[in-house]
Chain A
Amino acid sequence: MRRVRTPGTLLLILALAMATGCWNRRELNDLAIVTALGVDKAERGYHVSVQVVDPSEVAARSSGGSFSPVTTYDATGDTMAEAIRRMTTVTPRKLYFAHLRLFVIGEALAREGMGKSLDLLSRDQEGRTDFYIVVAKGHKAFDVLRILTPMERIPASKMHSSLQVSERAWAPTVSVQLDDLITEIVAKGIQPALTGITIKGDPIVGRELQNLRTPDTPTRLQYQGIAVFRSDKLIGWLNESESKGFSDITNRLNSTMVEIPCPEGGKLAVEVIRSKSKMEGSVKNGKPEIVVTMRSEANVADVECHMHITGRNSLEEIEKRAEETMRLNAEQAVAKAKKLGTDVFGFGEEIHRASPTYWSRVQNEWDQIFKELTVSFKVDMKIRRIGTVGESFLDEMKE
């Protein structure tokens, strides 16, 4: 056996290692970290804007505060790629999209169809697709990107975390990521729905550091409503209670507040702590049918009326009223979707699973069939706890 000459081999390996020259090495300070990307309709093609972090303004230790923590750049181009590359004429560093937190689509573009603008992001090999996609309701995406936010110094992170929190604890928002969105655009049995984001206050004020200097930030970003699409085109908005119903039907609901009227006036709120919903499709006599079962557990959170909640049957009463409210929300959501003629709940997919043969026959006219679809709800709520006090002190209060 021929022996390998060790020093020579080592030298060769070393030379090979050096020859690569660290070809795609990027130091952290060569990156412009993009946290939010906005796309708007332009006369030709797209108007793309990015929100880039200035790390030294954001870092915990730095004094910061005198400059804006983020910088926005924008450019127009026939394609997304062209517009982004055109930005290099103004950005000091190469834009780095892997840490994108938020992708904002301008309403005008969404109404026209946003599909084409998504390919670049889904194709890019260095991206992490864990960013959320939202629609700028009534505004340009570029305007949304330019609003400064308090506490979370990077507006995009603020919106990212606030979407997560509100989806978990409030419900009328949906956090949608790129691969879900693309699946929903393509699938026939489900249509996309995205949360809307809007600017409260004067957009011009929101761009200045002044916005952060007062306790009641005059201009804020706020999530509002859910945008429903048909394929990649925005066709309408759900309001807050419809949005809640939407989250509930699609098993996105985790925790929320349900307000119910008391028998003798006033209101009472229960906090849903666990919620699970299931839809079951079936085809009977050639007619599709959906049964949505929603089970949730709740605590009594707030009693602002005169009601004996420790009394006999009173919890059952509360449960019944809460169930009623939830059913109402869900029915409203379905009614709205039927009116818009787009199946954002994925009932079609359910029918597909229940009866593939039926589905293959009707899939192309599903939007029409959906309008006539029978959807029934089984709502079951259990009150688990009533909190640290029994009766509300309001009872003892002299009136």
Chain B
Amino acid sequence: MSRMRSWKRSSARQAGLDGNDAEETPRPLSASLEDNLDTIREVLGGSDDIVIRPIRLSGGVAAAIVFTEGLANEQLIAGFILDRAMSDDADQEHERTGRGAQEVVSELERHILAVGELEFLHVFKSLFHALLSGNTIVLMDGLDHAIAAGTKGWKDRGVSETSTESVIRGPREAFSETIRTNTALIRRRIKSPRLRLETSRIGRETQTDVSIMYMQGIASDKIVEEVRKRLDNIDIDGILESGYIEELIQDETYTPFPTVYNSERPDVIAAELLEGKIAILVDGTPFVLIVPAVFVSFLHAAEDYYHRADISTLIRLLRYVGILIALYFPSLYVAITTFHQEMLPTQLLISLAAQREGIPFPAFIEAIMMEAAFEILREAGLRMPRTIGPAVSIVGTLVIGQAAVEAGIISAAMVIVVSTTAISSFVFPAYSMANAIRMLRFPLMGLAASFGLFGIILGSFAIVLHLTSLRTFGVPYLTPFAPMNLGEQKDAIFRLPHWMMTRRPSLLTGSGGKRQQPAKAAKPKPDK
């Protein structure tokens, strides 16, 4: 359990909020209300959105409530704290019994602060974290600790439909920016007590909540520990998106291939958790990370598991074809038309040669120009205001597709090659893998232009060698192909029926490898 302690300790270490070095010993609250309020004012520098509301509790105890405007639900504060704390009932009761501040606190806790979460804070560091997370702090004169009431409530986008991973069949929900909503979305799918959630704060300044979720007993302890260790080692001022975490914990930086999977679909995350993977949720982003992420998982889409197995297998095969086209088509075209013309059927050669008549650029330059134009067009389409979209696509199709061909600057075949490649690059279920392939396409084209097919083979060798050398949290990236595991081929290239997939991936899971009891997992058939 020492690992658990270090996990907690280090997250506490990073919780220094007062702008000073995180290593400073935490400062305790004093018993004087005025002193405490002064410290708060001093540390926060009198920011306008911090509301300090002095109140007088029943029995004449001086108190103050402090909250952050916009982050705290003010209705909750008015209804449950201000109202109840200053109510006459409490006043009379107190006069009758004549109890001190200590009793008032327990009284408040019992009757008045009728909110779900309540926490006692003894040091300023935790006070500030609670305050700036949207909780309401109740301070009382003569009390050397503060009460934080859970009043978090801010404007939230709510759970909306997924925009990056849409499906025909399957749930539509996507994660939102609030970590609590996201954990709830996962809990709703896995109602198992084995689903564990550990939260820490990362980011010296942003104090971002980062949670790891895993299935106790399914996920490998070793990998869970590794994830904790890597998250512990992060020391950065801010975490604004899960991409920060991804880059800080991934095994290998110099690789085009993603070794951390991300998704904004709760059903995908739930499925991965059930396979023994570990989810990392970051407050403020709908993208949840999954580790370890092996190569094939980037080629699988959520929908593969919702459709019938045969259809899914067919669609997967189609996807692999698309991937090969996206990676190789332009380089093959360049290599074959500039080095290996003898490989083409005569009719095709003549037709291609006719299209190239009068084209001023070598095929490689032509391909690079078109690819660049396409990438620019795509990037422009992503960033520009939505209303200009149609204009850009019209200019794109007309100028690049048609005018360039008619003007004899680009051959029609090249337009076909580039557009086929472009379309194929959208078959990737995972955008991060699409980017990897997109990036590798260009060096392959360069190799094709200088060495022909030989260069392409060389490049492919390099890619495969690189892939085999990759690890993701200690798991070989090409699992289950290298190392080869026949049993796990059921859900790698093909997608076999669910009743055949009785075991979980062995390299990821600890002990509980069985998904189904083999006896029950037999092929469904009518009773005899």
Contact = CB atoms under 8 A, between A and B. Distances in A.
B351 A28 contact: no
Interface in A26-79: 26-29, 31, 33, 35, 53, 55-56, 58-62
B449 A25 contact: yes
Contacts of B446: 17
A157 B354 CA distance: 16
Contacts of A96: 341
A-B pairs, top 4 by smallest CB distance, nearest first, are A59-B354, A98-B342, A55-B354, A55-B353
A91 B31 CA distance: 102
Interface in B440-480: 446-447, 449-451
Contact of A28 (B346, B352, B449): B352
Interface stretch (B126-134, B294-302, B315-323, B355-363): B355-363
**Interface residue tally on A, bucketed by range:** 20 to 34
Interface in A119-173: 126-128, 154, 157
> Which size class do B's interface residues fall under?
20 to 34
B338 A33 contact: no
Given A20-B450, A29-B358, A99 B338 contact: no
7 contacts: A20-B451, A27-B356, A31-B353, A55-B357, A59-B351, A61-B354, A98-B342
A22 B449 contact: yes
Interface of B: 254, 337-339, 341-342, 346-347, 349-359, 362-363, 446-447, 449-451
B350 A31 contact: no
Interface of A is mostly: loop
A101 interface: yes
A58 B352 CA distance: 11
A60 B412 CA distance: 13
Contact of B341 (A17, A26, A101, A157): A26
A158 to B, nearest CB: 12
Given A33-B353, A99-B341, A99-B342, 5 more contacts: A27-B356, A27-B362, A35-B346, A53-B353, A157-B346
B339 A25 contact: yes
Interface of A: 6, 17-18, 20-22, 24-29, 31, 33, 35, 53, 55-56, 58-62, 96, 98-99, 101, 126-128, 154, 157
A56 B346 contact: no
Contacts of A21: 450
A154 B350 contact: yes
Q: Is the interface of B mostly helix, strand, loop or mixed?
A: helix
A97 to B, nearest CB: 9
Contact of A27 (B254, B337, B351, B450): B337
B258 to A, nearest CB: 20
A24 B352 CA distance: 19
Nearest to B357: A56
A348 to B, nearest CB: 35
Contact of A29 (B342, B356, B449): B356
A323 to B, nearest CB: 41
B350 A33 contact: yes
Contacts of A61: 354
B349 A28 contact: yes
Contacts of A127: 342
Contact of A126 (B337, B342, B350, B362): B342
A54 B350 CA distance: 8
A12 to B, nearest CB: 14
Nearest to A20: B450
B445 to A, nearest CB: 12
